[in-house]
Amino acid sequence: SLLKALEEIQKVKFGIATQLSSDLLAIDIRETLYHFGMITGEVTNDELLGNIFANFCIGK
């Protein structure tokens, strides 16, 4: 699951670099969260997504 999470993070980084729409970025972010959740046993999507969108200029 850690390698899958890394793959998804790389997709997110590429999406940001190429100005991919925030809707599509959110899909990759959710996939990343899923894989981290598989490792930790718990995922809070709303908290992490809220933090990401509050701290990074995504889709603006």
Domain coordinates in residue numbering, the chain: 2-55
User: What is the rounded radius of gyration, in angstroms, for the C-alpha atoms of the chain?
Assistant: 11
pLDDT tens per residue, range 10-58 = 999 999 999 999 889 998 998 888 888 888 877 666 666 776 776 666 5
Q: CA–CA distance from 11 to each of 24, 25, 37 (Å)? A: 10, 8, 18
Region of 35 (left: φ > 0; alpha: ψ -120 to 50; beta: rest) is alpha
d(CA 38, CA 22): 24
pTM over 0.75: no
Token pair listed for 53: 């969108």
